[in-house]
Amino acid sequence: QNCPFAQRALTSSQRMDWARSLYLDELRPQDLDLYVTEGHPGFEVWAEADVAQPFWDDFRRARILLAATEAINHKMFFDRECNDLTPYTNCFTRLDVCYDTTGLRCDPNLRYRTMGGTCNNLVNPKLGAQFSAYSRLMAPDYHDCLHSERRTAIDSIELPSPRIIGNILAENGFGIQQAAPTVSVLNVFGAFCGQLITHDTGSRINVQRYNFSGPGIQCCSQYYTRRLSEEISHPACKPIDIPVNDPFYSQFKANCLNFVSSQTTFSNDCKVGPAQQSNSVSAFMDLTIVYGDDQATQNRLRSRQSGRMITNAANVLPETPNCRQQPCYFLGDVRLNQTPMLAQWHSLFLRLHNLIAPLISANDEIAYQEGKRLTTALYQRIVFNEWLPIILGQAESINKQLTCDPSKANCGKYNQYVDPSNTNEFTHGAFRWLHAFVPSTINLYGPDKRLIMSRALSDMNSSQVNILNGNYDNLLRGVLNDPVNYGGYSPELRNRLMKDARGMGIDLFSIDIKRARDHGVPPYHTFISTCTNTPAQINNWPDLDPYFTPASLKILQTIYKSPRDIDLLVGVLGERRLTPYTILGKIGSCIIAEQFKRFKFGDRFFYQWTDGPYPFTQPQLQEIERFTMAKFLCSVSNIGSVPQNAFLTPSATNPIVACTSIPKFNFALFAK
Ligand code: HEM
Ligand SMILES: [Ca+2]
């Protein structure tokens, strides 16, 4: 290949200069007061988890690679369409800074998944593994082709502030169309299942000081009255502007919301190019939220007796006093203390594991590994066969081979060329749409359906250990009974999330929109051609008629200058529903279905595969296919009765059934 600039390959000191010019990972000690401290709204988000040294080194080298790309870009090659680099990337591939995947020796016959997801894909053992990059369905849309935020299609001026977009949408219920109330709809329990899958497969982290775990970066002045000037703020700062007349924040005179760019890393093909964000957990649906991504976490969680994992006296989750809100729980994922509903989902799997493991073997190691394998299989089974048909619609889910009956239909097979990574468009775009359906209040009901407690979302996390330890079944009844919220992002999430003592919190909607822009997620219209399989030209507002109702289009026109500007999530929230009963439209369901295809066909250890190194036997597989969420809940709680389909609100078509009428899972088939 002709590499016209090869002789100009960057020396290591030049690369360091560029890295310094970006200045993203080191700060002077005197800048320390720029960090968020306890008591700030959103402290929980900005105070980051520990990152092990080798990953820090990766992050730093990735910045150098990006700096090199930037230098090439400025001096030589990109056009405005970001096209020109592609033919030359091979000239720059081995900048000797990428991690070495050849150093990973994978045993193709290994019976169990590795910690953190390495060696699942034998062609590229890092694909989908902890700390690899989020992948993409489309080329990123950065204004400078590399890392800066997208701008309007019309005059290349900044897009409207996410807060202003949120304020307009809030007045219009976020454009969300109401489902027919006469049928069962997704319940709160089902919404939090989405969050569980999210946390299993994705976790971006903010840029932080190099090799330093502590408070996160602050981009606004104290009390959030203004953004810090660029000279004194951290280069990773991208604060969100709040209008002075904001209906909520004006009472605090707050004009700035903290926002820090995500940590970037090497692209999965290790080539020069635009910024790629790091995913700090394994992207596989392998229950890393329960078992952890690394050996140290796993060791901390195992009891070393009959394969069981440790738990607290109430058999909810292990507790620790060493946390920001004391006491709190711990398990495989650090985010579990966000709400009792999320913690409870973790607890359900912990209980299931502890029920299964001792029945498999008396040998601790065998019981643990086999218990983990079966628990993970049962999780995949309920997500693909019960949860997805509700989210995507039964027909779509079957059509895409996501939901299937292995004894009757062709369920497809593992494909090593399917990239299992989590895509930016899914995690930082479409899948956050369920945030809009989280209710503002959570209710707890006793066995006699009596209301026992009703709590605003923003008041729950500080006392969640009390709530969950004492009210396990009451909380479960609440989330199973109550429907999701159809009014759009609730004020609890838009104003009071992780609030400070004054009651001022952060705005999840603004963060979601800003995050997608920070990650280069392209706007809504770019997905139309791919998702509809027909070339679509979206140049004028009427071109969007097939995708939005006239009322929704009118709102969008008040927000954006061009139909080519619409943030992906805003489009997904407002687009026409596929059927009156689904909560997604064409583009949203297309992006989500594509991701679940990757989670299934890109996972060498997916439970249905019969040709892997260690498949389930036919009788075992048949028993797994008989597992349901209702059976799961009856096995690990004392609620006594459940909605037949536990992800849907009870109704005439989804009656509440007694646990005694549900056949038990035959664990004997799995004994070793
Ligand atoms: C009370 C409920 C919830 C709260 C308070 C919450 C809060 C958050 C926060 C603070 C973030 C990080 C935002 C950022 O800095 O970019 C986040 C990320 C995310 N949330 Fe939620 N969330 C909730 C429920 C859900 C649910 C039900 C879903 C269902 C799909 C969901 C999906 C996601 C996704 C996909 C991400 C991105 C994860 C990643 O980093 O890979 N969340 N959420
Ligand atoms: Ca995982």
Q: Give 81-108 as a 3 state SS string.
A: CCCCCHHHHHHHCCCCCCCCHHHCCCCC
State in Å: Cα 137 to ligand 2 middle.
20
User: Stretch 12-32: mean pLDDT, rounded?
Assistant: 41
Question: Residue with the nearest Cα to atom 15 of ligand 1?
Answer: 511
Whether 539 shows a pLDDT value over 90: the answer reads: yes
Judged by average pLDDT, the poorest of 47-51, 157-161, 183-187, 418-422 is: 47-51
- Establish whether residue 430 lines the binding site of ligand 1, counting it when its CB lies within 6 angstroms of any ligand atom: no
Contact assessment for residue 289 and residue 346, using Cβ atoms and an 8 Å cutoff? yes
DSSP letters for 285-344: SS-HHHH-SSHHHHHHHB-SSTT-B---TTSS--EESSSSSSSEE-SS-GGGGG-HHHHH
User: Stretch 87-101: mean pLDDT, rounded?
Assistant: 49
Whether 218 shows a pLDDT value over 80: the answer reads: yes
Predicted local confidence at residue 211, as pLDDT = 53
Q: Check whether the bond before 327 is cis (ω within 30° of 0).
A: yes
Average pLDDT, whole number, for the chain? 86
Predicted local confidence at residue 147, as pLDDT = 81
454-465 pLDDT tens trace: 999 999 876 788
- pLDDT band for position 21 (cuts 50, 70, 90): very low
Judged by average pLDDT, the poorest of 50-64, 317-331, 529-543, 651-665 is: 50-64
Whether 42 shows a pLDDT value over 60: the answer reads: no
| Structure-block tokens of residue 161 | 């502030």
Of 68, 60, 56, the C-alpha closest to 24 is: 60
> What is the CB neighbour count within 10 angstroms for residue 579?
12
- pLDDT band for position 41 (cuts 50, 70, 90): low
- pLDDT band for position 222 (cuts 50, 70, 90): confident
- Establish whether residue 432 lines the binding site of ligand 1, counting it when its CB lies within 6 angstroms of any ligand atom: yes
| Structure-block tokens of residue 610 | 């019969």
Contact assessment for residue 529 and residue 535, using Cβ atoms and an 8 Å cutoff? yes
| Structure-block tokens of residue 290 | 């329960």
Predicted local confidence at residue 221, as pLDDT = 86
Predicted local confidence at residue 223, as pLDDT = 84
DSSP state of 384: I
- Establish whether residue 202 lines the binding site of ligand 1, counting it when its CB lies within 6 angstroms of any ligand atom: yes
Distance CA 5, CA 396 (A): 49
Question: Residue with the nearest Cα to atom 23 of ligand 1?
Answer: 435
Partners of 319 in the β-ladder: 329
Of 544, 541, 588, the C-alpha closest to 569 is: 588
48-75 pLDDT tens trace: 445 566 666 666 666 666 665 665 555 4
Distance CA 249, CA 295 (A): 44
Distance CA 220, CA 36 (A): 10
Counting atoms of ligand 1 from 1, which one is nearest the CA of 206? 15
Whether 216 shows a pLDDT value over 90: the answer reads: no
**Please, which residues have CB within 8 angstroms of residue 496's CB and are 6 or more apart in sequence?**
456, 457, 458, 503, 504, 505
Instruction: Write down the residue that tokens 């900044």 correspond to.
Output: 158
Counting atoms of ligand 1 from 1, which one is nearest the CA of 191? 27
Of 107, 130, 100, the C-alpha closest to 118 is: 130
Distance CA 244, CA 108 (A): 59
User: Stretch 189-201: mean pLDDT, rounded?
Assistant: 98
663 burial via Cβ count (<10 Å: 0-12, 13-18, 19+): exposed
Distance CA 418, CA 160 (A): 36
Whether 263 shows a pLDDT value over 60: the answer reads: yes
**Please, which residues have CB within 8 angstroms of residue 108's CB and are 6 or more apart in sequence?**
122, 613
User: Stretch 330-354: mean pLDDT, rounded?
Assistant: 95
Whether 3 shows a pLDDT value over 60: the answer reads: no
Whether 558 shows a pLDDT value over 50: the answer reads: yes
User: How many CA atoms lie within 13 Å of 47's alpha carbon, on the beta-carbon side?
Assistant: 17
- pLDDT band for position 139 (cuts 50, 70, 90): confident
Whether 310 shows a pLDDT value over 90: the answer reads: yes
Counting atoms of ligand 1 from 1, which one is nearest the CA of 192? 27
Whether 170 shows a pLDDT value over 90: the answer reads: yes
Return residues with CB closer than 5 A to ligand 2 (ion). 200, 282, 284, 286, 288
User: Stretch 336-362: mean pLDDT, rounded?
Assistant: 96
Q: Which ligand is nearest to the CA of 281?
A: 2
Predicted local confidence at residue 61, as pLDDT = 64
In sequence order, what E strands does 156-221 have? none
- pLDDT band for position 508 (cuts 50, 70, 90): very high
- Establish whether residue 198 lines the binding site of ligand 1, counting it when its CB lies within 6 angstroms of any ligand atom: yes
Predicted local confidence at residue 103, as pLDDT = 65
In sequence order, what E strands does 316-464 have? 319-320, 328-329, 441-445, 451-456
CA distances from 482 to 143, 177, 189, 232, 492 (A): 43, 18, 8, 48, 17
Predicted local confidence at residue 12, as pLDDT = 46
Predicted local confidence at residue 215, as pLDDT = 67
* Report for 2-6, 21-25, 214-218, 371-375: range of highest mean pLDDT: 371-375
Question: Residue with the nearest Cα to atom 12 of ligand 1?
Answer: 45
Counting atoms of ligand 1 from 1, which one is nearest the CA of 197? 30
Instruction: Write down the residue that tokens 């952890």 correspond to.
Output: 292
Judged by average pLDDT, the poorest of 93-107, 378-392, 488-502, 569-583 is: 93-107
User: Stretch 317-338: mean pLDDT, rounded?
Assistant: 87
- Establish whether residue 238 lines the binding site of ligand 1, counting it when its CB lies within 6 angstroms of any ligand atom: no
144 burial via Cβ count (<10 Å: 0-12, 13-18, 19+): middle
Instruction: Write down the residue that tokens 């097939």 correspond to.
Output: 546
State in Å: Cα 201 to ligand 2 middle.
4
